[in-house]
Amino acid sequence: MQWCFFYLFGNLFVFLLASTSSVQPQSVVLQLSNVRFPSHSDVYRAHLALSEKNEIPMRIWFESKQTKLQWVCVVSNFQDHSTERSMYVLPADVIVTKLKNGLSALETDSTSRCQGCEVHLTELTNKHLKLELELKPYSSMAAKYTFDLKPVTLERIDILEAQVRDLQDALESKNRDLDLMLESTREQNQAKISNVHTKLTPQELTYLYLSSTESNHFNVATWTISWNAQNEFNEAYFKLSSDAASISLLQRGIYAVQAHIKFKASNICLQIADKCVWWGHRIAGEPFLFQLSYTAFVTTETILSLGSIDDLRGRISPGDVIMTIGLVEAPLKTQAADRACSPKIACVFEHIRTIHE
């Protein structure tokens, strides 16, 4: 501030003029929390602030994270900070940009670099800090600017604010670590899901859902059920016969057969490779409900059917039987498995039968 005195017609007039150099920059254009210089063990906070319209005066503010001491320098004219080595006068916005880039490159976790500029910090004997910006855009061009950062007189509230800033930094760091951990966990889970999906994809359609249509009598005492497929199935694994009375299992693997049966016949059987591997017997009275559950290890193309033997009364109506056949495990390719099973029939490693009246 400057006072201006002058007389007019015998009267004294006093004016208070504001100096542009006293304007305090308010617009923060750079805010760093972990600036580390190679020549210092301390870590600093660094703020750069400009005045209106992002023009100078510019305020440079530093704070030691160890001692909480602060320094400040207000720059009104960069030429006042230019050294004798500066052979060129650079625009103010260029100098500000290079200073921002140079400090940002010194941030602890920064991966950026300042092309053609270096920033150094020196502790002076009068407790000041000297900040140096050296610009070398080309080998034939050089400019150097020094900024005298003066100590700031601190109040108790300033120390408390510095401690709050430390807590905020720690919280932000924890949040970043948590975000990284969550992102890493999400990627790992996504990879696991993708892996499981990849393994299951070949079996997406490896099941067959059937509903009975009618019973086919081959003679007076033998009949089988005709089927109607209720889903799109993988024809590489299943095939219905021309009369829809039997199902061929075309690939090796472990298959689960489930069926819900309603009938009045005295017996019914699940035939695999012309052998009855599951059967149920009529007890008496009203129609019975049978729940078929069978698991088979198939080593070669195998024919499956459901019907009755030696039963004159067997008659299945449409929808009386619902059956599902699904591949539950990929084919085993060991020679031991081949030797353990006959090439003409399915090998059964587990056989579960439950009959409910």
- For the segment 234-250, what is each residue's pLDDT rounded down to a tens digit? 888 899 988 888 899 99
| CA end-to-end span of the chain | 105
Structure tokens at 281: 């017997």
pLDDT at 357: 33
pLDDT at 99: 94
Contact of 49 with 25, CB cutoff 8 Å = yes
153 and 236 together in one domain: no
Report the range of poorest mean pLDDT among 5-14, 110-119, 151-160.
5-14
234 and 119 together in one domain: no
131 and 15 together in one domain: yes
- Looking up residue 305, the CATH number of its domain turns out to be 2.60.120.40
- Whether residue 170 is contained in a domain is answered as no
Report the range of poorest mean pLDDT among 187-201, 203-217, 252-266.
187-201
Report the range of poorest mean pLDDT among 39-43, 53-57, 84-88, 112-116.
84-88
Is 80 in a helix, a strand, or coil? helix
pLDDT tens digits along 26-58: 899 999 999 999 888 899 999 999 998 888 999
Amino acid at position 44, single letter: Y
- Whether residue 173 is contained in a domain is answered as no
CA distances from 123 to 101, 129, 130, 178 (A): 22, 5, 6, 37
Q: Which residue has the tokens 């004219």?
A: 77
Amino acid at position 118, single letter: E
Q: How many CA atoms lie within 13 A of 288 on its CB side?
A: 19
pLDDT tens digits along 171-180: 887 888 888 8
- Looking up residue 82, the CATH number of its domain turns out to be 2.170.210
Residue that wins the pLDDT comparison between 136 and 67 = 67
Q: Decide if pLDDT at 351 tops 50.
A: no
- Whether residue 336 is contained in a domain is answered as yes
Residue that wins the pLDDT comparison between 171 and 19 = 171
- Whether residue 104 is contained in a domain is answered as yes
- Whether residue 198 is contained in a domain is answered as no
Q: Which of 101, 130, 158 is the last residue of a domain?
A: 158
- Buried b / exposed e over 204-214, threshold 16 CB at 10 Å, is ebbbbbbebbb
pTM above threshold 0.95: no
Select, from the ranges 113-117, 124-128, 225-229, 291-295, the one with the highest average predicted confidence (pLDDT).
124-128
6 and 83 together in one domain: yes
Structure tokens at 139: 């080998």
Q: DSSP string of 257-285?
A: EEEEEEE--SEEEEEETTEEEEEEE--SS
Bridge partner list, 350: 295
Residue that wins the pLDDT comparison between 10 and 166 = 166
pLDDT at 286: 52
How is residue 307 annotated by DSSP?
A: E
Q: Decide if pLDDT at 122 tops 70.
A: yes
Number of domains in the chain: 2
Which structural domain range is residue 275 located in?
Answer: 204-356
Confidence category of residue 60, pLDDT binned at 50, 70, 90:
very high
251 and 345 together in one domain: yes
Burial class of residue 2, CB neighbours in 10 A (0-12, 13-18, 19+): exposed
The pLDDT of 140-161, averaged and rounded, is: 86
pLDDT at 18: 42
pLDDT at 81: 92
Spatial separation of the C-alpha atoms in residues 173 and 43, rounded to whole Å = 16
pLDDT at 151: 94
Q: How many CA atoms lie within 13 A of 51 on its CB side?
A: 14
The pLDDT of 257-276, averaged and rounded, is: 79
pLDDT tens digits along 270-302: 888 888 888 775 545 555 677 778 888 888 899
Backbone angles phi, psi at 109, to 5 degrees: -100, 20
When the pLDDT of each residue in the chain is averaged and rounded to a whole number, the result is: 76
Q: Which residue has the tokens 């019975």?
A: 288
Q: Which residue has the tokens 């602030």?
A: 49
Q: Decide if pLDDT at 129 tops 90.
A: yes
Task: Single out the residue of 151, 25, 140 nearest to residue 92, CA to CA.
Answer: 25
